[in-house]
Structure 1
Amino acid sequence: MTTFAKTGLIGMMLAGTTALPAMAQDISWIYCGDRIDPVHENYIAEWEAMNEGWTVTPEVVGWAQCQDKATTLAAAGSPVGMAYVGSRTLKEFAINELIVPVPMSEDEMALYYPHIVDTVTFEGTQWGVPIAFSTKAMYWNKDIFEAAGLDPESPPTTWEETIDAARQITENTDFSGYGLSAKTFDNTMHQFLHWVYTNNGQIIDSDDNIVMDSPEVLQALEAYRDITPYSVPGATAYEQNEMRAIFLDGQVGMLQASIGTAFRAMETDMNWGVTNLPTGPAAEGPGTLLITDSLVVFSETGVEDKAIEFAKFITSPDVQLEYEMSPDAGLTPLRPSAAVDDLVAEAPHWAPYIDGIEFGGPEPLFTDYTGFQNVMIEMVQAVVTGDAEPADALTRAAGQLEDYK
């Protein structure tokens, strides 16, 4: 691969390290979460039975620490065989030569929904295997809509309609119109990117050009400014899960959220609905940010080829669908199938999560993802708090991102 200077936090950790190969017959796996999903437990055992002499040893690490632990071990020269990471970090891992490519055939790529493979592709090569996928849809509280004089069965379909509905709720009821998250969390950036991808915008193109300072992205930032007065007061105090709790408590009219919100809403007595994300004036169709987490295979372990084989097995279509459909997963399916079609027919609240994929966009890949994230959060917060006009904030942020691409 092309040799690059070491970058970001990974680059600092790499200084002065020497690789120590792992044991040849075991694939160690940093597994994010509170426990191993039973689906994965079953298929680990099946794979081991088919591969005599090989074992897979998962280490369960909490969500807040798992990726940092995998990175620290790799940079210290003691990499695990495989780890679960946010796909947004793949470019940084690849440039620092911590992971090996996991190339996909055309037949493999064709099995996924559009743009999914883009979330793990850098310089034309795949650097991970998607294992989890998230999209967003918009929820609305039908009782709040009715109280505000809005049609409870007709949610807004455009940004303009959304802002107007939020205004009417705020002015005509004791509730907030919209749940806007702008705390110093990564989901503040994610929430904004959903607006970018519902207006045919981009942050960085396939040639690594920063293209964020565009009419499409400016319109998204202006819409953020315009909806802030009708959102929950003090948006910078709330991250996504906190705002979701406010919605589920029946205190806000509209919210963009993942499929897990539907499962929680079913446990309440709320009269709710879910629909496609509203679109901006430049949209070509319903969109969403496409967020994936991936399995990456670390270099200098001695088990790279077998780890790639296992990673593809544990994310193969039948295994992956079984995992996605497990009760606690709360994931959007990665691949279309007859089973997914049946799911949407039986549970229509799934449809918006699938509809947005075609016109959605991948999470942008940067060499210093934390730097990118912080620039985006600062831009959003500056507009939400009124400290900067959208055009000025956007131009400044686009310039800053040149340092992180």
Structure 2
Amino acid sequence: MKTSVLALALASAAALPAAAEEISWIYCGDVLDPFHETAIAEWEEKNPDWPIAVEVVGWAQCQDKATTLAAAGTPPAMAYVGSRTLKEFALSELIVPVPMTEEEKASYYPHIVDTVTFDDTQWGVPIAFSTKALYWNKDLFRQAGLDPEKPPTTWAEELEYAKVITEKTGVPGFGLVAKTFDNTVHQFLHWVYTNNGQVIDADGNITLDSPEVLAALEGYAAMVPYSEEGPTAYEQNEVRAIFLDGKVAMIHNGSGAAARLAETDIDWGIATLPLGPEAKGPGTLLITDSLAIFDGSGVEEKAIEFAKYITSPAIQEEYEIKGTAGLTPLRPSANVDKLVVDVPFWKPLVDGIEYGGPEPLFTDYKGFQNVMIAMVQSVVTGQAEPQAALTKAAAELEDYK
């Protein structure tokens, strides 16, 4: 009996190795980080049937591109996104869960996993992390008669120091952020998380209208007379620029300020953020970016495996410590302990994690953001009293939770 040509062809095809399946990755930035490039090469050597197809997209377009492709039914396997968007993506059924084991969760600093969790499910893998600290200009402290080696440790001290500096030097004591921009929300949340407050709880209840958050909003407003003129015109980086120019005495900022200060002649210090009356310990807003795994790519399971590989402790630590991005480490380790000793400005940025809190997850993050900015601006400009503004904002947030 003769074997048909078709049967021979099918048998030959079956004997061939399966075609490689790409894992597409929309990568935010200007270039692929060298540490990630090396890690990808190592992955592909071990997983030759699962090559990584990286598309580097600028920060301004990166997340929008991933969202547009997913909504059109042609999703990337994986994309770099702000963790704040994960809830919205998940409820729109654009991404799949990325469950973590208890061991994986325990490897991170406290509260990091909260930035990617809702309904007790993880929806992304953290890949970048930032925290904030207090920076102060020691020369301006001296000019105002303040001890340059003793920064404020409480809100009350911070307000008093800002007042003294403003009145004695004519230089604004504090750089206040209140522009119509996302980091106005971030800056206000520093105050919330240094007074044991929160915006929304794990069950999705809006908790904004509380004594702890009211005190934060009152504290923010109290800084207006001792801040740069017209704070609604300034976002975080613009306030930092004023500080770097020696024209404001104190700011709340991340590691980027330390890197830039090293290039100036300013005599400066860094400490954990001053604490409110209800604080339990050092706090800060914990901002992460994550790798989200999109539904419908056909390679979801392998993409999850790769996402966990590229953010695994050894690779992630090298990316954070040796890279140029200036990222706060996601996990504690002996190498991080050494970093804190070798580069002392990292200590307050790491210490603030203990009682920090995540960017709140909402179904419409931009809606949440707009409500919060309007609340802050109404108080900063004197158009509303803090309690009235807080109650109004809490009611409006019910539409976005």
**TM-score of the alignment, normalized to the shorter chain, above 0.5:** yes
Instruction: Give the match for residue 123 of structure 1.
Output: 119
CA deviation map 1:180-205 (0-9, x unaligned): 11111110000000100000001000
Distance between the aligned counterparts of 1:243 and 1:35, measured in 2? 28
Instruction: Give the match for residue 335 of structure 1.
Output: 331
Distance between the aligned counterparts of 1:171 and 1:262, measured in 2? 27
- Ranges in structure 1 where 5+ consecutive residues have no aligned partner: 1-22
Amino acid at match of 2:291: L
2:269 equivalent to 1:289: no
Instruction: Give the match for residue 12 of structure 1.
Output: none
Instruction: Give the match for residue 47 of structure 2.
Output: 51
SS at 1:138 equivalent:
strand
User: Residues 141 and 272 of structure 1 are in contact (CA less than 8 Å); yes or no, is this contact kept in structure 2?
Assistant: yes
Amino acid at match of 1:243: V
SS at 1:103 equivalent:
coil
Q: Residues 1-400 of structure 1: matches in 2 within 5 Å?
A: 25-400=21-396
CA deviation map 1:163-188 (0-9, x unaligned): 11111111111311001111111100
User: CA RMSD, aligned part only?
Assistant: 0.9
Quote the offset at 1:346 in angstroms. 1.4
Amino acid at match of 2:385: E
Instruction: Give the match for residue 6 of structure 1.
Output: none
SS at 1:313 equivalent:
helix
Distance between the aligned counterparts of 1:97 and 1:262, measured in 2? 40
Quote the offset at 1:123 in angstroms. 0.7
Distance between the aligned counterparts of 1:66 and 1:100, measured in 2? 19
User: Residues 213 and 394 of structure 1 are in contact (CA less than 8 Å); yes or no, is this contact kept in structure 2?
Assistant: yes
User: Between Structure 1 and Structure 2, whose CA radius of gyration is higher?
Assistant: 2
Distance between the aligned counterparts of 2:323 and 2:198, measured in 1? 34
Distance between the aligned counterparts of 2:107 and 2:283, measured in 1? 20
| Mean CA deviation greater in 86-95 or 54-63 | 54-63
SS at 1:208 equivalent:
coil
Distance between the aligned counterparts of 1:387 and 1:196, measured in 2? 21
Distance between the aligned counterparts of 1:273 and 1:52, measured in 2? 49
Instruction: Give the match for residue 3 of structure 2.
Output: none
User: Residues 81 and 290 of structure 2 are in contact (CA less than 8 Å); yes or no, is this contact kept in structure 1?
Assistant: yes
User: Residues 98 and 304 of structure 2 are in contact (CA less than 8 Å); yes or no, is this contact kept in structure 1?
Assistant: yes
Distance between the aligned counterparts of 1:51 and 1:343, measured in 2? 33
Amino acid at match of 1:257: N
Number of equivalenced pairs = 383
Instruction: Give the match for residue 12 of structure 2.
Output: none
Percent of matched pairs sharing the same residue? 70
User: Residues 177 and 254 of structure 1 are in contact (CA less than 8 Å); yes or no, is this contact kept in structure 2?
Assistant: yes
CA deviation map 1:271-318 (0-9, x unaligned): 000000000000011100111000000001101011001000000000
Quote the offset at 1:250 in angstroms. 0.8
CA deviation map 1:318-374 (0-9, x unaligned): 000011113421110000000000111112211111111111111110000000000
User: Residues 20 and 49 of structure 2 are in contact (CA less than 8 Å); yes or no, is this contact kept in structure 1?
Assistant: no
Distance between the aligned counterparts of 1:313 and 1:146, measured in 2? 50
Distance between the aligned counterparts of 1:302 and 1:110, measured in 2? 30
Distance between the aligned counterparts of 2:265 and 2:71, measured in 1? 49
Amino acid at match of 1:99: I
SS at 2:203 equivalent:
coil
SS at 1:307 equivalent:
helix
- Ranges in structure 2 where 5+ consecutive residues have no aligned partner: 1-18
Amino acid at match of 1:53: D
User: Residues 32 and 66 of structure 1 are in contact (CA less than 8 Å); yes or no, is this contact kept in structure 2?
Assistant: yes
Distance between the aligned counterparts of 2:319 and 2:202, measured in 1? 31
Distance between the aligned counterparts of 1:228 and 1:150, measured in 2? 21
Distance between the aligned counterparts of 2:116 and 2:190, measured in 1? 19
Distance between the aligned counterparts of 1:283 and 1:67, measured in 2? 35
Distance between the aligned counterparts of 1:98 and 1:199, measured in 2? 35
Distance between the aligned counterparts of 1:68 and 1:263, measured in 2? 29
SS at 1:293 equivalent:
strand
User: Residues 35 and 323 of structure 2 are in contact (CA less than 8 Å); yes or no, is this contact kept in structure 1?
Assistant: no
Taking structure 2 as the reference length, what is the TM-score of the superposition?
Answer: 0.94
Amino acid at match of 1:237: A
Taking structure 1 as the reference length, what is the TM-score of the superposition?
Answer: 0.93
SS at 1:177 equivalent:
coil
Flag as ranges the 4+ runs of structure 1 deviating above 4 A. none
Distance between the aligned counterparts of 1:387 and 1:280, measured in 2? 24
